Amino acid sequence: MKTILTALLAATVISAAHAQSLPGGFVYLRDIDPGIIQDIRYATSNNFVGRPLAGYGAGECVVKREVGLRLKAVQQELAAQGLSLKMFDCYRPARASLDMVKWSQNGYETAAERRYNPKIPKSELFRLGYIASRSQHSTGAALDLTLVDLKADNSARYDPSKAYADCTAPVEARLPEGSVDMGTGYDCTDTKGHTAAPSINPDQRAWRKRLVAAMAKQGFVNYAKEWWHFSLPGAGAAAYDFPIPPRTK
């Protein structure tokens, strides 16, 4: 009898794990390439909203399978150069985009929020197109990412009690991201965040070009107003709203 009960319990656990599986065609990037660094910011308080967004039940990069396989190919090329991709956002539940819109219209703005929007009031972000009620991310075919120099000291960590400079400030003054200096922080709402911004220095421009070139080899297209945003044309059309569950494998 004890053996039967043990078997039933094991079957229940397996069934629960399967119940948290992803919709068809979606995968955890960690299952495709565990070497790609992940810092899924919207699952934490380290983002422009200052809290986890709706639908982010885990800090896991979820993508369409084809997207994951192409990212693996990018990573293999970068690894030979002592570099790695670092994922900031992948699949984004549709409810998270609506959460962003609601946040932008809540009527107040903190100093921490202004780090990401130094020149534009957050109440204007939706009207100006920096925040949208529907995001390409919800298709599973769009990504926010950067590069990490694996030979560098990437040990600095975000301290929520520290008063960092805004996202356009020199890298040593803005909040640490454990990555190369791309000229602005991630999610920086400023013209300096445009991929071809003339206001960045030659080294920063070289890093951006290196990232764009590596991604382009696998068919990814950069969004000109955000150096960190890439998409894979044709890999996703419909938007999804399933929450991101913890990976159980």
Catalytic residue ranges: 226
Distance CA 189, CA 116 (A): 6
Full DSSP string of 82-103 = TEEEEEEE-S--HHHHHHHHHH
Distance CA 61, CA 35 (A): 12
**Is the Cβ–Cβ distance between 40 and 55 less than 8 Å?**
no
144 marked as binding residue: yes
Q: Where are the alpha helices (DSSP H) in 26-134?
A: 29-32, 65-79, 94-104, 111-114
Distance CA 218, CA 213 (A): 9
145 φ, ψ (degrees, to nearest 5): -160, 170
Nearest to 220 by CA among 228, 230, 234: 230
* CB-side neighbour CA atoms (13 Å) of 229: 17
Distance CA 94, CA 236 (A): 14
Task: Give the residue numbers of the binding site.
Answer: 137, 144, 229
Task: Give the residue numbers of the binding site for Zn(2+).
Answer: 137, 144, 229
